[in-house]
Amino acid sequence: MDDWLIAIIKVVCIWVWVLLIAVVMTWVERRGAALIQDRPGPNRAGPFGLFQPLADGIKLFTKEEIIPTKARKILYILGPLLFSVPAFSTYAVVPFGDKIILGGKEIILQVSDVNIGFLFILALGSMAVYGVILGGWGSSNKYSILGGLRSTAQMVSYEVPLGLALLAIVFVYGTFSLRDISLAQQGTFLGFLPNWGIFKQPLGFILFIVAAYAEANRVPFDLPEAESEIVSGYHTEYGSMRLGLYLFGEYVNLVTLSGVTVALYFGSWHMPYIDLGAYLGPISWGIVSFCIFFLKVSFFLWMFVWVRWTLPRFRYDQVMGLGWKGLIPLGLFNIFITALFIQLTV
Amino acid sequence: MNQNPTSQTSYESDNYVTINIGPSHPSMHGTLRIVAVTDGETIVKAEPDIGYLHRGVEKLGENLTYHQFIPITDRLNYCSAIPNNVSYEMAVEKLMGVEVPEKAQLIRVIMMELARIADHQVCIGILGVDLGAFTPFFYLIIQREEIYEIFEWFNGARLTNTFGRIGGVDADLPDDFEQRWEELKPNVRKANDETEKLLTHNRIWMDRTIGVSTFSPEDALNWGFTGPCLRACGVKRDLRIDEPYCMYDKFKFEVPVGKNGDVFDRYIVRMIEMEESIKIIDQAYKLYKEMPADAPLMARVPKVIKPPAGEVYSALESPNGELGFFVKSDGSAKPYRIRIRPPCYMMFQALPELVEGEMVADLIACISSLNVIAGELDR
Amino acid sequence: MDLKKRVEQCLGPENFVVAMTECQGDLSVEVPKRNILDVMHLLRDTPDLGFNFLSDVFGVDNLDLNKPKKKPKKKEEGEGAEVEEESKEKGPLPPRFEVVYLLLCLERNERLQVKVRVEESDMEVDSLYLIWKASDWPEREAFDMYGIRFKGHPNLKRLLMWDEFSAYPLRKDYPLEGQGEERHLIYDD
């Protein structure tokens, strides 16, 4: 019984937490954009515009739900659901801290530590592609179809470099589970470098981060949604809460991808060189590891915002060219080098 | 306006999709419509359709007096209204044979070059936004607001400044122009520098703009191109040097010339022109300061302007190209015929040739780089 | 002027010059309508003229210029009646429309206006599209605004007004407020 209760509490907590981060991200995006662009940003709805996401949420909730006449109803309604549900569920396998000991029971700060770890993430990410293509096709609008097709092609193409980078991680750590990989990133190697993934897999990190931007449909890869000529791409015909599901799903995707990046490449909840777990008590270590983890995640979320407002966007054929002709050969090369290294050093 | 411009052609294969980049769309070029027949992402044929902002300006001109027409010329190229005003005034002055005093000419030059900077700022900003680089737009627009402050403080209006009168200028530059200009100059240069740092050597920007809609100089001249788009193709032609007006022959400035005529060259030409405009304003202001304080600002023109019967054409180098006015008078107080030669009209008609074989994303980049302004196109 | 002599030398021998006027330094030459293509070829190809850039093409409606002024400032009716009688005695009115071409020589920076008079009964002029593609839209606009047809133009449709618009707005007898035409859009389904 206890285990069930703990699991349910973890699910609810992490679900609320991720949703909160997504909501705060809308605020960060707008204020961050304003900071980069030398203007104030939203500052009316509450101090520093902090109630702006609340205002946006209320607006989206209270708008009228319109379904276009020519739209295929089932596909139109299914699209946002298929996009946002995998986005929320993927976070189940990402750790958000080490363990905490409450009332004598050791609770790991991860909703479920399955041993297929990030394969689960890749699989659910592929489901999200359905959400896009159904939304685009179901809207019965030329621009939506164009946007949906572009986005689908992009997301499917960039799953391959993502998978190749993750495969190299498996070579290094020998496991798919994100918790085990996080635990293995303690300490140092070569005397001075922390045992983080980025130092063991620099090329893999670059591949992963580029593929992550493409999977999340963010600039410079945001041609499916913000192109001037296809208006808003696959979510042109959506309004009210369905659009809200698409937009929140995007931000939750960002949080998940940042979480995976930190867990695999940036030492998860470990501080470099200092092993805090040995100094702090169990409860405080749980809380501190949670904070360290989310500090690192927030750095990567800020990176997403920063890059969005700095770079122009790619053209469709350039995106495809980069993915297939650039990243996949690099990914294969990375695997080859990693395997060679491991063979020679073990 | 056509409902089906491609119905006469044979582009009805099953593989072709016709998309309509309609009169209301997210880029800020005004109300234009382009019907693009695409094969996947490649454009087979792109036909522009204009007339959504047609206000009958030429017909209005035949019913208003010469002075009453000046505010209407503001609304042609509304991103930089002053060259429109000055071009019209110069045409009427040429018809009447009136010589504008030097001080007024210098004030005209200063204001026209400020308007040129403002127009290029908005053109490059919008080019960035259309291509996904949102930030340079803001840096440039903030400086454009400062230029608008100068316009408002001199003319009374920010955007549609009805500048000047037939025969000269109505008011002198107030005393603290120098201080304002010295404050504005480094800021404009800084915004341009930041834009260059963000864009010019950026790999993604270069990929998106180099080689897109290249145009040879012979084609450009055949189609009637003028202005930055012609200079980007490699033809060194600038009315300020070739047919000098308003004391431009007394200033030293460079005219940038591109090589390939693609979007990147047009962008670079405009960036350099902004810098050259700053130099011209400095030189013009230096000459202005040497003029006596009570030098005349207006030539002696009658209160009711009735030019002698005749017809005359006068053109100047507006930020977009050769903006010309053909004024025909029959001796009465109202013009008989006014014809406006819009620069981007000639360039937009070449759109099918410019974007054939390019991708849809390039179509947007090409239109942005031509700086098509619907007010000028449709009149 | 030197330009005037050169133009006369070029076009004169074939009797292409109907009239030549000059206004404030702008030279304007009127040529017969049926010879416009030959004139343009000559102006472009003669080495000492070399007009290789077409700046603009537009139409002018001379209806009010040809008519005597019907609102004289005289107060007596007798004089007004005399003026009307006089005009009736004169010969046929000159052609109503003109098409003006603005040419430019890039090397020498010289401009020339070439005019062609178009009768109301025969409103067709040869199109310059094959010589300069820059005449594409200006000729369409002249057609749209005045009704002057251009023979040989690849796509002579209305440009600024909508396709089904029936009148020609820039003519002098079209009122400024319009005649109340409305556009009715037809939807497919």
CATH number reported for the structural domain that contains residue C80 in this entry: 3.30.460.80
* Entry field: residues in chain B: 379
Identify whether C166 is part of a domain: no
pTM of this structure: 0.87
Q: Is residue C62 part of a domain?
A: yes
CB contact under 8 A, C102 and B349: no
**Quick one: fold of B57-378?**
Cytochrome-c3 Hydrogenase; chain B (1.10.645)
- The secondary structure of residue A327, as a DSSP letter, is I
Amino acid A231: pLDDT: 62
Would the CB atoms of A315 and B134 count as touching at under 8 Å?
no
Are the beta carbons of A301 and A258 closer than 8 angstroms?
yes
From the CA of B36, how many Å to the nearest CA of chain C? 17
In whole angstroms, give the CA distance from residue B261 to residue B229: 7
Q: Which of B253, B226, B229 is nearest to B241 (CA)?
A: B253
Range of the domain at C83: 2-132
User: Which of C65, C169, C185 is opposite residue B336, by nearest beta carbon?
Assistant: C65
Question: Which pairs count as long-range contacts for C150-157, CB under 8 Å and 24+ apart, including other chains?
Answer: C150/C124, C150/C125, C150/C126, C151/C124, C151/C125, C151/C126, C151/C127, C152/C126, C152/C127, C153/C127, C153/C129, C154/C129, C156/C127, C157/B2, C157/B5
Comparing CB atoms, the residue among C54, C102, C109 nearest residue B243 is C109
Domain boundaries, chain B: 5-49, 57-378
8 Å CB contact of B341 and C56:
yes
Q: Please give the residue of chain C at the shortest CA–CA distance from B219.
A: C133
C137 found inside a domain: no
CB A290 within 8 A of CB A268: no
pLDDT digits (tens, 9 = 90+) for A209-230: 999 998 888 878 887 766 655 5
Q: Do C137 and B326 count as a contact with CB atoms less than 8 A apart?
A: no
State pLDDT tens for residues B221-240.
899 899 999 999 988 888 88
Distance set, CA C61 to CA A315, B264, B309, C173 (Å): 49, 43, 15, 10
Quickly tell me which residue has 């700095």 as its tokens: A310
> Which of chain B's residues have a Cβ under 8 Å away from the Cβ of C161?
1, 51, 54
* pLDDT tens per residue across all 189 residues of chain C: 588 888 888 877 877 788 888 888 888 988 888 888 888 888 888 888 888 899 999 999 888 777 765 555 444 444 444 444 444 445 677 888 889 999 998 888 888 899 998 888 888 888 989 888 888 899 999 999 998 889 888 888 888 888 888 888 888 888 888 888 888 777 776
ipTM computed for the complex: 0.86
Interchain pair B60, C102: CB under 8 A = no
* Cβ atoms within 10 Å, residue C70: 9
Cβ contact, residue pair B205, A312, below 8 Å: yes
Q: Which of B50, B222, B324 sits opposite C133 (nearest CB)?
A: B222
Distance (Å, rounded) from C-alpha B325 to C-alpha B339?
Answer: 6
CA A337, A339, A343, A346 torsion: positive or negative?
positive
Give the bridge partners for B337, in sequence order: B328
pLDDT by residue (tens digit) across B62-118? Answer: 899 998 999 998 888 888 899 999 999 999 999 888 889 989 999 999 999 999 999
Distance of CA A269 to the CA centre of its chain: 17
| Cα separation values, C106 from B109, B236, B312, C52, C128, Å | 24, 10, 19, 7, 19
Chain A closest-CA separation from residue B217 CA (Å): 27
The confidence band for B43, taking pLDDT boundaries of 50, 70 and 90, is: confident
Rounded to the nearest angstrom, the minimum Cα separation between C106 and chain B is 8
8 Å CB contact of C26 and B223: no
Which tokens sit at B62? Answer: 């035949």
In a domain, C173, yes or no: no
Domains in chain C, number: 1
Is there a domain that residue C112 lies in? yes
Question: pLDDT means per 10 residues in chain A (346 residues)?
Answer: 81 86 89 88 84 87 85 86 86 81 75 81 86 85 80 88 90 85 79 79 90 86 67 73 85 89 85 74 81 89 90 87 92 92 84
